[in-house]
Structure 1
Amino acid sequence: MEMRETHSAPYDVPRDQWLYNDRCMAKWQGWILSDHSADMEFHEKNDQFVPVKPQMSDQDISSILNHAWEQNHQVSIQINDLYDNNFQRDIIGWIGGFDEGQITVINAVGKYQRVDVADIRSVSEELPKKWWLQ
């Protein structure tokens, strides 16, 4: 009886006959692309210069915060706080509530942040940057 060599899969081609050097990474390409996109978005957001906005009056700040609260609009808040001789990034989100001189801001991923109203330098109503957040 004659023995024949068999392959485990019907498309199992010897490596020396491959048309290109496959590093068996095809299944990881989606993951690598999404990680790269997230990294690019992170650096785009964090490597930018934060412009200094003019100091607003307490009345203007209160008026915009109340309107955003009533209409459920997103706000962008700049705090009077320098970090490495630069202002921190704006706090962007929706007003979740008011309590004893503080507001609660809820960002797009649902995290809460408490902000002292006295520390607010500037506030404005914002349109969401992502279409699915509108």
Structure 2
Amino acid sequence: MGATPMSKEFDQRVTDFFAHYQDRGMKKWAGFFLSDHTAMINKETRQKSVPDRAEMSREECGKVLGEAFGNQRSVAVQLKEVDENGDRPEEIVDFVQGYAEDKVVIGEHVIALDDLRCVLLLSD
């Protein structure tokens, strides 16, 4: 069986295509990164939104909280907890409302004293 004029034309187009085709190399694979790999890259490149403050002892935290409570001054509190990315939650900024056993009430937050990383007295 002989080749039809249409199949010869098709064969010629295929031959021409591959003769002039330029592979884009790694560019074509850029969209295939794994989500874990992308998350790792993002973690390395992004800046921490809440900086780590110097950790204070429970006694140091208690002194600052006592001064803030006695003088009706606000505080900024950083907790020890971190999320799965190693980032800290936003600092709690408010007035010390009071104490309850091993907890302190700052604004509407009830926080265990052992969960405090740093307490800063703010100038009002």
Corresponding residue pairs, total: 77
Instruction: Name the stretch that deviates more: 48-57 or 116-125.
Output: 48-57
Unaligned runs of 5+ in 1: 1-46, 107-111, 129-134
Corresponding residue number in structure 1 for 2:101: 100
Over residues 47-97 of structure 1, what are the superposed CA-to-partner deviations in whole Å (9 max), with x where a residue is unaligned?
A: 971100111112211110000000010000000000231011111100001
Q: Does 1:58 align with 2:58?
A: yes
Quick one: distance in 1 between partners of 2:58 and 2:94? 20
| Displaced runs of 4 or more, over 3 A | none
Q: What secondary structure, in the 3-state scheme, does the structure 2 residue paired with 1:61 have? A: helix
Determine which structure has the larger helix proportion and give its number.
2
Match of 1:119 among 96, 115, 122: 115
- Uncovered stretches (5+) of structure 2, i.e. residues with no partner: 1-46
Please give the per-residue CA displacement for 1:79-116, whole angstroms capped at 9, x wherever unaligned.
Answer: 0000231011111100001001111111xxxxx11111
**Higher relative contact order (CA closer than 8 Å, sequence separation 6+):** 2
Letter in 2 for 1:70: G
* Identical positions, percent: 18
Amino acid at match of 1:123: V
* Structure with larger Rg: 2
Please report the TM-score for the alignment, with normalisation by the length of structure 1.
0.54
Q: AA paired with 2:114?
A: A
